[in-house]
């Protein structure tokens, strides 16, 4: 799934300990006179044995855990990696990243250089060595995906577009930084537990009451948690996951619509087609001819 310009060699720092990846690399030797240069980035689905250990890194690098779990040691600070964790490293910042083999991580990253990017990191209190947590990880994931799409696109001013997307990403991470106090912490932990359950049960979950019962909370309380810490209702988030899975099956596996509907638990393919059209505005069959 990796794409690259035909004349650019793949960076040596791209890990091979991944089961899937979507990565880009624009400039391996950035112009030091530029105020902002996006060098590389993407997402990686880590293998259970994923382990990276470095004494530092030549450029500021931002990483975001979207799914799964692991452990990070950053400048002698040990952190448990869960969805929503963001960390920054760079020159002179030793770091070790390990994946929990029971829950392989899906993590995003962006490598960049330039005085403008470094100033933005300082202003947003995200200098190398920083670890923080965001309260709306799905939104951060969407912005990362947009950055990747811009980098892999065939635009004349691709570097400029990527720079703008990176600065927006940094500011949104800073704005989404968790400020929950000790009194709010249990609620945030419960929200994340409910969200992880929905992700894991996306293929079989059907009713809000069943999801809430499996998470040992009431339906009303789960809805309040999602309004407070997320962007969608619990069922809206479930639909989002299922429809994105449908796109993967239609585009990647080229499965017929009826088979995708059955895979996602729809007994009637017409109901699946209507749900798909409500989300994406086109019938699922359109993707088979894309």
Last residue of a domain, one of 123, 156, 175: 175
> What's the CATH code of the domain at 268?
1.10.10.60
In this structure, the answer to whether residues 171 and 222 fall within a common structural domain is no
Same domain, 234 and 161: no
What is the CATH number for 134? 2.60.120.280
Looking up tokens 């996951």, which residue turns up?
241
Of 156, 245, 254, nearest to 204 (Cα)?
245
Which pLDDT score, from 0 to 100, does residue 253 have?
Answer: 62
- Tens-binned pLDDT, residue by residue, of the chain (290 aa): 444 444 456 788 999 999 999 999 987 666 666 788 999 999 999 999 999 999 999 999 999 999 999 999 998 899 999 999 999 999 999 999 999 999 999 999 999 998 888 898 998 899 999 999 987 788 899 899 999 998 987 766 788 888 889 999 999 898 778 655 545 678 878 888 898 899 888 878 889 999 999 999 999 999 999 888 776 789 988 888 888 788 878 776 667 888 888 888 888 888 888 888 887 777 888 776 65
| Residue 198 dihedral angles phi and psi, to the nearest 5° | -65, -40
Question: Which structural domain range is residue 115 located in?
Answer: 18-175
Task: Say if residue 115 is in the same domain as residue 38.
Answer: yes
For residue 106, the model assigns a pLDDT of: 96
Decide if 18 contacts 3 (C-beta within 8 A): no
Nearest to 84 by CA among 188, 212, 2: 188
15 within 8 A of 50, measured Cβ to Cβ: yes
Helices (DSSP H) in the chain: which residue ranges?
Answer: 115-123, 137-152, 158-175, 185-200, 208-214, 219-229, 234-252, 257-263, 269-280, 285-288
In this structure, the answer to whether residues 239 and 193 fall within a common structural domain is: yes
Is the pTM higher than 0.75? no
Q: What is the pLDDT of residue 250?
A: 79
Beta strands in the chain (DSSP E): 18-25, 37-46, 51-54, 61-67, 70-74, 77-81, 85-89, 95-99, 106-113, 131-133
Looking at the structure, tell me whether residues 136 and 219 fall in a common domain: no
- Specify the pLDDT at position 252: 67
Structure tokens at 67: 């799914």
Around 250, how many Cα atoms within 13 Å sit in the side-chain half-sphere?
23
Q: Specify whether 214 is located in the same domain as 126.
A: no
Residues 140 and 253 in one domain: no
Same domain, 154 and 193: no
Query: How many structural domains comprise the chain?
Result: 2
């Amino acid at each position: 799934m990796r794409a690259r310009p035909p004349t650019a060699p793949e960076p040596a720092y791209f890990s091979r300990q991944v089961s899937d990846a979507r990565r880009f690399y624009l400039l391996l030797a950035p112009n030091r006179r530029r105020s902002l240069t996006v060098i590389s980035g993407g997402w990686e689905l880590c293998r259970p044995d994923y382990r990276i250990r470095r004494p530092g890194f030549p450029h500021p690098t931002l990483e975001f855990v979207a799914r799964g779990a692991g452990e990070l040691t950053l400048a002698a600070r040990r952190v448990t990696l869960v969805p929503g964790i963001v960390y920054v490293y760079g020159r002179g910042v030793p770091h070790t990243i390990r994946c929990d083999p029971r829950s392989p991580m899906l993590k995003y990253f962006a490598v960049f250089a330039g005085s403008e990017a470094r100033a933005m990191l300082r202003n947003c209190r995200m200098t190398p060595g920083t670890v923080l947590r965001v309260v709306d990880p799905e939104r951060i994931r969407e912005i990362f995906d947009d950055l990747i799409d811009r980098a892999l696109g065939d635009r004349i001013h691709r570097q400029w577009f990527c720079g703008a997307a990176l600065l927006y990403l940094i500011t949104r991470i800073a704005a989404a930084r968790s400020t929950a106090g000790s009194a709010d912490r249990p609620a945030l932990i419960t929200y994340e537990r409910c969200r992880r359950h929905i992700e894991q049960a996306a293929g079989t979950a059907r009713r809000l009451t069943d999801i809430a019962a499996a998470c040992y909370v009431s339906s009303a309380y789960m809805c309040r948690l999602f309004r407070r810490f997320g962007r969608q209702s619990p069922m809206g988030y479930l639909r989002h996951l299922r429809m994105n899975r449908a796109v993967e099956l239609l585009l990647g596996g080229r499965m017929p619509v009826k088979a995708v509907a059955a895979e996602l638990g729809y007994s009637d393919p017409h109901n699946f087609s209507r749900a798909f059209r409500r989300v994406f505005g086109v019938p699922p069959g359109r993707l088979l001819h894309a």
